[in-house]
């Protein structure tokens, strides 16, 4: 069940590739709130989530935060390793507890330098991540908290086995970079509309279709572009 192939990038690799990698893969737990890597710090491992979800956050001097991308079992955390920077100004935090497989940075660098299918896959994934970040930028500019909450919920349940999210409104507000009260209000509307139910840190999505229709276009744009870039990894 919980094996490397549960990560869709690893699953997309040819058996021979995966086999070579296998003995270097290390399974790790990702408890809620764990900081996978800190902004500006050397990244030691590259993580392939299987059941966990990781948020990439930027933090301002005054402590304000905003999520710039989400990575679940469709992706990989630590792209700065093969991009060559070794670190990034973003912080990676576990948003939903679960597990992941990780590789040492050194091994990833070496493997990447071979220039094979693994390199191609990582780069295409990176491009899809860029798309997600860019769409987040314009979404932050133009869309309402209500719409963004819908987008965020969709991004989350896409990466979870069940349409149920364990997260307080306070934390969601940190992700979206808005007030906690704003999330309370938006979530209230969704509950009244019968789209979700929630109680103290649990959110259940009841009507995904309607959630999509209430979301801004940003969710769909990113989904379509990701499917284009990584068709094999998105066959779910």
Residues at the contact surface with DNA, assessed by CB under 7 A: 144-146, 168-170, 177-182, 184-185, 187-188, 198-201
| 195, HSE (Cβ side, Cα atoms, 13 Å) | 19
Contact 135, 221 (CB under 8 A): yes
For residue 54, what are the β-bridge partners? 71, 94
Q: Is 234 in the site for a second copy (CB under 8 A)?
A: no
Distance between CA atoms of residues 70 and 131, nearest Å: 12
Query: Looking at beta carbons only, is 92 or 196 nearer to DNA?
Result: 196
Q: Is 42 in the site for a second copy (CB under 8 A)?
A: no
Least CB distance from residue 12 to a second copy, whole Å?
13
Least CB distance from residue 181 to DNA, whole Å?
4
For 25, 146, 156, 178, 236, the CA distances from 182, given in Å and listed in that order, are 41, 8, 19, 7, 33
Cα–Cα–Cα angle for 182, 73, 158, rounded to 5 degrees:
45
Query: Looking at beta carbons only, is 215 or 226 nearer to DNA?
Result: 215
Query: Looking at beta carbons only, is 38 or 185 nearer to DNA?
Result: 185
Q: Is 80 in the site for a second copy (CB under 8 A)?
A: yes
Query: Looking at beta carbons only, is 41 or 204 nearer to DNA?
Result: 204
Partner that binds at residue 198, options a second copy, DNA, none, CB closer than 5 to 8 Å by kind: DNA
């Amino acid at each position: 069940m919980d094996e490397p192939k549960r990560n869709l990038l690893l699953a997309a690799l040819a058996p021979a590739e995966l086999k070579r990698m296998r003995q270097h893969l290390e399974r790790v737990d990702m408890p809620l709130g764990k900081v996978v890597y800190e902004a500006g710090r050397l990244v030691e491992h590259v993580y392939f989530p299987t059941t966990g979800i990781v948020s990439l956050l930027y933090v301002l001097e005054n402590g304000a935060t905003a999520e710039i991308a989400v990575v679940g079992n469709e992706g990989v955390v630590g792209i700065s390793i093969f991009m060559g920077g070794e670190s990034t100004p973003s912080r990676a935090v576990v948003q939903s507890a679960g597990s992941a497989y990780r590789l040492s940075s050194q091994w990833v660098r070496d493997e990447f330098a071979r220039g094979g299918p693994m390199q191609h896959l990582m780069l295409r994934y990176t491009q899809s991540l860029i798309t997600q970040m860019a769409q987040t930028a314009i979404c932050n500019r133009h869309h309402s908290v209500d719409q963004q909450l819908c987008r965020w919920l969709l991004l989350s349940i896409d990466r979870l086995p069940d349409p149920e999210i364990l997260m307080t409104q306070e934390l969601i507000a940190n992700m979206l970079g808005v007030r906690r009260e704003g999330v309370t209000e938006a979530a209230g509307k969704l509950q009244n509309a019968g789209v979700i139910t929630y109680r103290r840190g649990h959110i259940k999505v009841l009507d995904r279709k309607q959630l999509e229709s209430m979301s801004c276009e940003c969710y769909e744009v990113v989904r379509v572009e990701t499917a284009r870039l990584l068709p094999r990894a998105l066959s779910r």
